[in-house]
Structure 1
Amino acid sequence: MLFILTIFAVGGIMMWARPVLAPMTFALVVGIVASPLADRLHDWGVPRIAVAAALLVLTSGALVLGFVLLEPLLNSMAARLPEIRAEIEGWVQSASGLVRGIETISNEIEQTVGASDADGAAPELPTVMDALWLAPDLGASVLIFAGTLFFFMLTRTDLYAAAGRFSGTLFQADRAVARYFLAVSIVNVALGVAVAVVMSVIGLNNAVLWGLAAGLLNFILYLGPLTILFGLLIVGMVQFNGAYSLLPPFAFLCLNLIEAQFVTPGFVGQRLRISPLAVFVAIVIGLWLWGPVGAIVALPLTLWLAVLLNARGPADRAT
């Protein structure tokens, strides 16, 4: 009973402290992934404060660049919500005839993004970047992320050294997770390029942006590919007619299956093998606790803990 109550207490605290813990944990995960580069620069004689500042600038710039590159795709999806609504109405009406439920959904969408002004002009939709910068507590989250990442990279060696006999295990876990994510990053870049090329051949609008989104969201196992698959299904139904509208999601599904079943296992190898159930549960819990940030950090934390426990196992048995 004490164990069960502890789990509920920790979960409640993590959810209550989400504004602080989510950006802090995200910064620690980014620091762990970037740790081999920081160690290499420090070995070359670069001061730790310069290494920490450089990695902070690089990682922050990469995150901002990702938002900027994906903004046109997200804005395009938001601008076409009325078309998507009408298309979904047709699907559901022809499939089940639930007209009353569709009218309720339609009214809700019209009140938010599809309604027209009194003069008949459609209201201007805010951009994604406007929503991000106007979001409450965004500045505090950015400050927490930047401060945690900077000071973690600055004092990481000292912090791990304070762990005594476990310091070597901590460094080993960092290196293993970083190597794994380097390999996965190469695979995801290749997947993004393949998706962009295939969608261009099909004739889908914003094919390059869809490839970029596929490569980025593939870091979130299960949920990321499902999001892209659903998005391509909606866009395909809106842009094309007939069976051809199913070609974009079908093509992405084939590419994703090839990547998941053959490319990633062959390229990444058997490193950091974790039960798929454990990965899925970790991602679901992370999404429930901290939203999208939780889904992003769930897998790195699970991998880091798995390597940490596996590395400690033989040493503990030897003692």
Structure 2
Amino acid sequence: MLTTVLSERAQRVMLLILTVIALTGALQLGQQLLAPIVFAVVLGIVVSPLAERLTDVGIPRVAVAILLLLVTTSLIALLILMIEPLLNMFIEQLPRLKAAATRWIASVSDVLRGIETISEEIEGAKPAAEASESALPTVRDALWMAPNFGAQFFVFVGTLFFFVLTRNELYSAVGTLEPKLRKADRAVARYFAAVTLVNAGLGTVTALIMLAIGVDYPMLWGLAAAILNYMLYLGPLLIIFGLAIAGLLQFTGAMSLLPPALFMLANFTEANFVTPWVVGQRLAMNPLGVFVAIVFGLWLWGPVGAIVALPVMLWFGVLMSPEMLNRTSGAEQLQPAE
């Protein structure tokens, strides 16, 4: 009897493992189609409270869907256009970066063995890097040269429009799951609104700090900090790395470490005090789960996967919470027998 039970459990575990592997493979193979669909659905869930309010005041559902589609796509395009100067600045500063790296290597060559070889490699790579600098495309050029970008954008726009337009009908069709879906949507919308507020504050503080210590393009650094902070852990690491490069380019000695150090202090304050207070304990997620979800999303679908990983994780967490399961089972028990 015990052997049979263990065998059944082993079969279920193996079936679960195979299902996860097959699902992961399907998600990765279908990236070109599934990534814009999931991104559009997440955005549709985020704007769903606003859509409901606009509908309640008498605005036709089609007009609401068109309006929210125009607003969301315009904001995404605006963010891309605003972040482009920061990337172009890095491209333009590559010669200064290589020169600063060479000076830094020379200053610590008496401590690190074999540093002369690294310095020679950097000097040897300079002409090739400078020759390729002018060939690097801008963000807009890279987007429009991508062969599948137009198709993915069309899928994203169509999914977002029709999801906002028919969301009520879709949820009504699932019967008893409708209250759970709407509760999960509200949780994701509240979480996104709270995180957006926190990220805007972090971006403002970052810009003011960079302006105070004299870092070039402080407003762009603030914008980058606000956008990349949607990718918890990984986004701040990218900003720290970028500010370390900026400090190396502009300052000398210990002063070059001041920009990343000050941002680390601001990000530590935001992550450990501000965000828990704004988001609240009800929407708090396990840090390990958050990290694994972001890394998995980044590996699976790139930056889009890292952005949608947390909303999807929160949505499923609320949907599968014991509280909601108990409510659903209780509602089913209260239904009169036919």
Give the TM interval when normalised to the shorter protein: over 0.9
In structure 2, the partner of 1:115 is 131
Q: CA deviation at 1:92?
A: 5.2
Structure with higher Rg: it is 2
The answer to whether the 8 A contact 1:192-1:213 is kept is yes
The equivalent of 2:89 in structure 1 is 76
Alignment of 1:52-201 (within 5 A): 52-91=65-104, 94=108, 95-100=112-117, 110-111=127-128, 113-115=129-131, 123=134, 125-201=136-212
Structure 2: gaps spanning 5 or more residues:
1-13, 334-338
Cα RMSD of the aligned pairs, angstroms, is 1.9
Residue by residue, what CA displacement relative to the aligned partner does 1:58-104 show, whole Å, maximum 9, x if unpaired?
00000000011111111001221233234345545634535545655
Matches within 5 A, 1:221-260: 221-260=232-271
**Aligned partners of 1:109, 1:170: CA distance in 2, in Å?**
56
Moved over 6 A (4+): none
Aligned partners of 1:274 and 1:306 also within 8 Å: no
For the structure 1 residues 127 and 106, does the alpha-carbon distance in structure 2 shift closer, same or farther, using more than 3 Å as the test?
farther
1:271 aligned counterpart, secondary structure: coil
Q: Which residue identity lines up with residue 191 of structure 2 in the other structure? A: Y
Give distance in 2, aligned partners of 1:191 and 1:184. 10
Among residues 305, 308, 312, which one is paired with 2:324 in the alignment?
312
Say if 1:272 and 1:306, in contact at 8 Å, map to a contact too: no
Alignment correspondent of 1:119: none
Distance 1:167 1:91 in 2: 60
8 Å contact kept, 2:293–2:309:
yes
Work out the CA distance in 1 between the residues paired with 2:39 and 2:123: 37
Post-superposition CA distance 1:95-141 (Å, at most 9, x none):
45355456556666753x4227xxxxx73543222112212211011
Cross-structure match for 2:7: none
Distance across 1 between alignment mates of 2:166 and 2:126: 49
CA distance in 2, matches of 1:110, 1:291: 31
2:58 paired residue among 45, 49, 52: 45
* Alignment coverage as a number of residue pairs: 313
**Judging changes above 3 Å, is the alpha-carbon distance between structure 1 residues 36 and 204 closer, same or farther for their aligned structure 2 residues?**
same
Q: Distance in 2 between matches of 1:282 and 1:82?
A: 37
* Aligned residue in 2 for 1:215: 226
CA distance in 2, matches of 1:268, 1:232: 27
Residue matched to 1:19: 32
Q: Which runs of 5+ in 1 are unaligned?
A: 117-121
Distance in structure 1 (CA, Å) of the matches to 2:292 and 2:31: 19
TM-score, length-scaled by structure 1: 0.92
Relative distance call for 1:314 and 1:237 in structure 2 (3 A) is: same
> Does residue 311 of structure 2 align to residue 300 of structure 1?
yes
SS at match of 1:7: helix
The structure-2 alpha-carbon separation of the partners of 1:289 and 1:66, relative to structure 1 and needing over 3 Å to count, comes to same
Stretch moving more, 123-132 or 67-76: 123-132
Structure 1 Cα separation of the partners of residues 245 and 259 of structure 2: 10
What is the TM-score normalised by the length of structure 2?
A: 0.87
- From the superposition, tell whether residues 4 and 83 of structure 1 become closer, same or farther in structure 2 (CA, over 3 Å): same
Determine the C-alpha separation between the residues in 1 that align with 2:121 and 2:64. 55
